[in-house]
Structure 1
Amino acid sequence: MRSGIHPESRPVVFRDRAADALFLTRSTATAAQSIEWEDGNTYPLIDVEISSASHPFYTGTARVMDTAGRVERFERRYGHPAVSRH
Structure 2
Amino acid sequence: MRPGIHPESHPVVFRDRAADVTFLTRSTANSTRTVEWEDGNTYPLIDVEISSASHPFYTGNTRVVDTAGRVERFERRYGRTASAGR
Give the distance between the partners of 2:62 and 2:56, measured in 1 at CA: 5
Where in structure 1 are there 5+ consecutive unaligned residues?
A: 64-86
Where in structure 2 are there 5+ consecutive unaligned residues?
A: 64-86
Counterpart mapping for 1:3-82 below 5 A: 3-62=3-62
Aligned structure 1 segments of 4 or more residues deviating by more than 6 angstroms: none
Query: What is the CA-CA distance between 1:32 and the residue it aligns to?
Result: 1.2
Aligned partner letter, 2:37:
W
Number of aligned residue pairs: give it: 63
Structure 1 partner of 2:72: none
Query: What is the CA-CA distance between 1:11 and the residue it aligns to?
Result: 0.4
Q: Percent identity between the aligned chains? A: 81
Task: Give the aligned CA root-mean-square deviation in angstroms.
Answer: 1.0
The structure whose Rg is larger is 1
Give the distance between the partners of 1:44 and 1:3, measured in 2 at CA: 25
TM-score (norm 1): 0.70
TM-score (norm 2): 0.70
